[in-house]
Structure 1
Amino acid sequence: MDRTVPGFEYRRTRVDEGVELNVAVGGSGPPVVLLHGFPQTHLMWRHVAADLAADHTVICPDLRGYGDSDKPREQGPDTYSKRTMAADVVALARSLGHERFALAGHDRGALVAFRAGLDHPAAITHLACLDVLPTLDMWEVLHGTTAAAGFHLYLMAQPPGLPETMIGASADAFFSHFLDGWTGDPEALPADIRDTYLEASRNAVPSIVADYRASAGIDVEHDRADRAAGRRLTMPVSVLQQDWGAALGYEAAALWGAWAADLEHTTVSCGHFMAEEAPADIVKALRDLLARSPERNG
């Protein structure tokens, strides 16, 4: 089973004590880092990465705890906090010789990208977040029976033990639920890719749960502290999302606008796995973002 992006070179890069990331690197030019979501690996970017590599250095890691990257045991809330995972990304880029880079993330990767933008503004030239809300806002808009759509968020928020046992007992059924239910175009996830995602997730249950557990605890604390301090994203930001706001009772553009001074917010019509379902649209959005001046906000 091929787990590579054609034409990309693979390496393992140390980003923290005892933590190495599996990373694919291709192309040449200004650097762009692409972060995957759940329940996927860096392969979700395969179409987009191939296009951007024509004139950019494209860096596609598996996040800590996912894919073929290291999966440190959860020692506490910091192990899989988005602050820690964002520091991984900055360390990875620097190890490859890039002090400043554009950053795009989908789903979980978008939460890591969001945190990197807040914690490392000098390093991030442009930021794109695909189909997610900032962690604090997400928890605030979920309520009542509509929150049932996010049942996995509540399950994996539980203390260590129960969620790992329940998910591990039927891992393929659990992860298939999202791969099948969140896509608007099943053909966008060919059988070999889908099987790769299932295998990778099956082998990473404890670390995936730890990632989600952090988002119900320490990540909320970090977002709340930044909101209270008035911290905002200062680089050009593009957000692409499905239109879930009407069902859940929120206005996504307004929520994102509270965090980003220079925001382009776009509603898309495809399913959740948009980099695979509508890669041409995502490439255009990213190229439009990269064309915006990172200096116009001072």
Structure 2
Amino acid sequence: MKIKDFEYQRVRVTGDVALNVAVAGSGSPVVLLHGFPQTHLMWRHVAADLAADHTVICPDLRGYGDSDKPADPSGAAYAKRVMAADVVALARALGHDRFAVAGHDRGAHVAIRAGLDRPEAVTHVASLDVLPTLDSWEVLRGRSAAVGFHLFLMAQPPGLPERMIAATADEFFGFFLDAWTRDPAAIPAEVRAEYLRASREAVPSIVADYRATAGVDMEHDEADRAAGRRLTMPVSVVQQDWGAALGFDAAALWRPWAADLTHRTVACGHFMAEEAPAEISAALRELLTR
């Protein structure tokens, strides 16, 4: 499936990785990064809106969708630092040395890392429905940690997680599409089928991505916290009100990471770019004026 009126191409970002990317519009560039278990299609409504006055770039992350999936069970090839470098290389290959980036879920972790590592390239950061990696692990404890069972499963050493998930791939990935959505109609049958197809074909790389989050990504966040590194560009965080439900103040956890922060909650499920696209478009437009 494709986003209507977007042009598709494969762009090489490293010697062994090319990304599948959809591009449309003109004006200041905005890169939109998808989450789990999705592809760039999750941005189809927001991307079409923003393309009216921005150059909109929607890639499949490495390891997802129709982008390349380097084999690396350790997760090193899926460190968010590596994936963020992909995004910077992609933007540059398309002619943009500076760009705004918005990410949802896994894509938000990549967007945050791009902002931390490459502030000279990233003008604005939007994060949809995640916490910075280090904080995510620190708040998942007790019974509330059950919501993140997949994080603990995919953090295990190579072998068992891949085999377990591959054996019931559609059921595994479909569980999240169902459990995290308040409005099932927001993900039509044909889009759901595409998400399942893409995820089914990417089990090893998806697990490696999550394994990196429990390992090397934590190390990078810990180093940043110790050094006092922060996002220096305007940052917008949009989340469900899951912080209150899980017993912590999400906005308070974000403040140490961003000097110029706007935090808001929306009344929808996790897949907010599909469930509340008008609100997300408005939030991104507000960010881009800051």
Length-normalised TM-score, structure 1: 0.96
Of residues 176, 182, 185, the one that matches 1:184 is: 182
Q: Which consecutive aligned stretches of 4+ in structure 1 deviate over 6 angstroms post-superposition?
A: none
Whether 1:98 and 2:91 are equivalent positions in the alignment is no
1:130-279 matched pairs, under 5 angstroms: 130-279=128-277
How much has 1:182 moved relative to structure 2? 0.2
Offset of residue 75 of structure 1: 6.0
- CA distance in 1 between counterparts of 2:266 and 2:121 reads 28
Provide, for residues 46-100 of structure 1, a one-character-per-residue CA deviation record: whole Å limited to 9, x for no partner.
0000010001000000000000000000164420000000000000000000000
What's the CA shift for 1:246?
2.1
Q: Distance in 2 between matches of 1:10 and 1:259?
A: 34
Residues 120-170 of structure 1, C-alpha deviations (whole Å, 9 max, x = no match): 001000110000011100000000111011100000000000000000000
Gaps of 5+ in 2: none
Picking from 111, 119, 138, the partner of 2:117 is 119
Aligned length: 290
Structure 1's unaligned 5+ residue stretches are 293-298
| Alpha-carbon offset, residue 256 of structure 1 | 0.6
Q: Structure 2 counterpart of 1:147, which letter?
A: A
Is residue 119–residue 232 contact of structure 2 (8 Å, CA) maintained in 1? Answer: yes
* 2:66 equivalent among 65, 68, 71: 68
Task: Select which of 274, 281, 284 maps to 1:283.
Answer: 281
Q: Partners of 2:75 and 2:191 in 1: how far apart? A: 31
* TM-score (ref. length: structure 2): 0.99
Deviations along 1:233-277, whole A, 9 cap, x unmatched?
000000000111223221110111110000000011100000000
User: In 2, distance between residues paired with 1:268 and 1:203?
Assistant: 32
SS in 1 for 2:259: coil
Deviation at 1:285, TM superposition (A): 0.3
